[in-house]
Amino acid sequence: MSELPAHPPDELSELFARFLDQQLDEAGHARLEELLRQDPAARERCAQRLLFEADLKDAIQPGELEWLETRRVVLGKKDGRPSMEIQRSQELRVGPRGRAELAGKKKRGRLIAAGVLAAFAIAAAIIVPRIFQAPGVPVLRNPGFETTDLSLNPTGNTTALIDWQDYFTTEDADLCEIARVTDGRIFAKSGRNVARMKLYGHLTQRLHDERGRPITARPGARYVLTGWVHTEGAAKPLLRTALRVVASGRPAMIQYEAATQRLELAPRPGWQPFRIEFDLGENLEREPSDVTIEQRPVLDLTGREMTLSIDSRGEKDSLFYLDEVSLEVSEATSR
Amino acid sequence: MSHSLSLTDSSDGLLAAGTGTALAGQDAERVRRFSEFWQQSQRSVRAYLASFVPDGSLLDDCVQEVALVAWRKGPLDDGEQAFLHHALACARHIGMAARRKFHGDRLKLLSPDVAQGLADAVAAVEPAPEPTDRVEALRHCIGKLSDDQQALIRLRYGDDSASELSKEALRAGKNLLTLYKRLERLRAVLRDCVTRQLSPPA
């Protein structure tokens, strides 16, 4: 097709085209603004031009909407009756999906190839020692709270804390992009997100090893919980942590604590590291620690699945942020 | 570039049979309606935002941010006009915020009053009754260009256009300004072609 348009361009067309291509010098910029300020017809023409640009973009790189809904359904039994837990997550994607997916697949292909080569090189060093490694090394899911992308969330926070709301949820703990919600006063210890813990807020995560097998209570087991906290305000928070066995979440809450610790946090600026040691001891018979029924049956926790609980206690209006949580087996474990 | 908004809804406890199906139906209707309204509105939204931030990738980000806010808060029960009105109001806030973030960096922006005047002119344009017709006509016209003409248009309106055009100028041994002038001629040709395509036959 000939590149000669039916109508030769005028001054406004040329200036606006160079503006859209970001090729306009200062004098041209000033002249364009003068024309747009003074002449409503110039504004209408340029508005039509912007609409045409939008059509061009759509013709070359059409935007797509992709709606993805996943449901996780856990079927089990509670108190001898069938029970069902459903978690539903919805995702709306906007943009040229094909390009993003293709880029992802290419990257995964390269990573897989590199991984296969590396596996042969290090297999002997890894596999043999693992045969003799004690089972039940916990691996926390979402330890840095980065699983959720809040960058396009209008408020920068959500009460959905993925992997930290097993059994129980609360409005007093939320996930936030801390730099946004504090207007740049505080940045995350790593990444962008932290857990924000108001008074009585809590996080609960079922413990699993790297193969997804539950971590169960064992006599003599010891664990170390580490992480970082950042206090806010003058009220003193208290970090109450526990390794618990949840015998029942609903309708009656019955929990047993295999080990628990309390740590007072000093209100001061900056991120503070914390380290908490749990020693389950040799005797794992416990009375319930949190219960909403009258009976308080003693239970031997040996072999029962454990959860990690992180609760906020302390003074009224206390608030702290939590990041980079880690749970490891203590080297002092007796078995 | 793709953006996503995740909404997680955790529900414990027993769920009556059939409730899941009803929820899925409501969600599907909501998605359908949003998709229809957004497809009708996105042209105006993009043009409106371009008054504030003409840059390609930043503009893309802003358009997607408007889409996501419109998904969460846009009115879906009051018709297309109400949805568009809401989307443009969001676009104004998002466009102004993007300007504050990037102004004085590498972008040449219109002064706020001029940008707003231009954006208002975009908002005053009646939405095209069948926007897909325009885009299809444009694709047809692009198809009539020569291969290298098409390639130039795709470079300009694809991802990372500024960098790609610079590389093309280097590769072709041409001055970048010459490439942009050629681009502008092609755009004028395409505008004329689309006008002829959409004009009723004499």
Contacts 24+ apart (CB under 8 A), A283-287: A283/A219, A284/A217, A284/A219, A284/A258, A286/A245, A286/A256, A286/A257, A286/A258, A287/A256
Q: Which residues of B touch A97 (CB under 8 A)?
A: 2
Structure-block tokens of residue A160 = 């959905």
DSSP A156: S
Burial grade of B48 (CB within 10 A; 0-12, 13-18, 19 or more)? buried
Question: Of the candidates B82, B188, B93, B111, which has an alpha carbon nearest to the alpha carbon of residue A3?
Answer: B188
Contact between B189 and A88 using a beta-carbon 8 Å cutoff = no
Neighbours of B183 (CB within 10 A): 21
Q: Which amino acid is at A250?
A: R
pLDDT digits (tens, 9 = 90+) for B126-156: 877 676 788 889 999 999 999 989 988 988 8
d(CA A75, CA B107): 55
Bridge partner list, A228:
A273, A323
B182 at A interface, C-beta within 8 A: yes
Return the pLDDT at A232: 92
Q: State the pTM of this model.
A: 0.52
B35 at A interface, C-beta within 8 A: yes
Which residue from A minimizes the CA distance to B66?
Answer: A152
Return the pLDDT at A219: 93
Q: Find the mean pLDDT for residues A146-168.
A: 85
Contact between B158 and A44 using a beta-carbon 8 Å cutoff = no
Residue A7 has pLDDT above 80, yes or no: no
Query: Could you tell me the pLDDT band of residue A1, with boundaries at 50, 70 and 90?
Result: low
Residue among A29, A56, A100 whose CB faces B108 most closely: A29
Residue among A5, A22, A54 whose CB faces B108 most closely: A22
The residue count of chain A comes to 335
d(CA A237, CA A263): 9
Which residue from A minimizes the CA distance to B146?
Answer: A1
Residue A214 has pLDDT above 60, yes or no: yes
Asked if residues A95 and B1 have their Cβ atoms less than 8 Å apart, the reply is: yes
Neighbours of A316 (CB within 10 A): 7
Asked if residues A231 and A322 have their Cβ atoms less than 8 Å apart, the reply is: no
Chain A: closest CA distance from residue B78 (Å):
21
d(CA B202, CA B200): 6
Candidates B71, B118, B150, partner chain A, best to mutate (most A CBs within 10 A): B118
pLDDT digits (tens, 9 = 90+) for A217-231: 999 999 999 999 999
Tokens 């089972």 belong to residue? A135
Chain A: closest CA distance from residue B132 (Å):
9
**Which residues are CB-neighbours of B76 under 8 A, at least 6 positions away?**
B30, B33, B34, B37, B83
**Which residues are CB-neighbours of B98 under 8 A, at least 6 positions away?**
B52, B53, B58, B61, B62
Which residue from A minimizes the CA distance to B143?
Answer: A1
Contact between A84 and B15 using a beta-carbon 8 Å cutoff = yes
Query: Could you tell me the pLDDT band of residue A238, with boundaries at 50, 70 and 90?
Result: very high
Residue A106 has pLDDT above 70, yes or no: no
Residue A318 has pLDDT above 50, yes or no: yes
Share of residues in chain A with pLDDT > 90 (%) = 48
DSSP A294: S
Return the pLDDT at A94: 67
Sign of CA dihedral A175, A178, A181, A182: positive
Chain B: closest CA distance from residue A175 (Å):
12
Angle separating helix axes A40-60 and A26-38, nearest 10 degrees: 120
Neighbours of B118 (CB within 10 A): 25
d(CA B142, CA B190): 7
Question: Of the candidates B69, B67, B28, which has an alpha carbon nearest to the alpha carbon of residue A95?
Answer: B67
Query: Could you tell me the pLDDT band of residue A77, with boundaries at 50, 70 and 90?
Result: confident
Q: Find the mean pLDDT for residues A189-204.
A: 93
Q: Cis check for the bond before A251: say yes or no (omega within 30 of 0).
A: yes
Return the pLDDT at A6: 52
d(CA B148, CA B57): 23
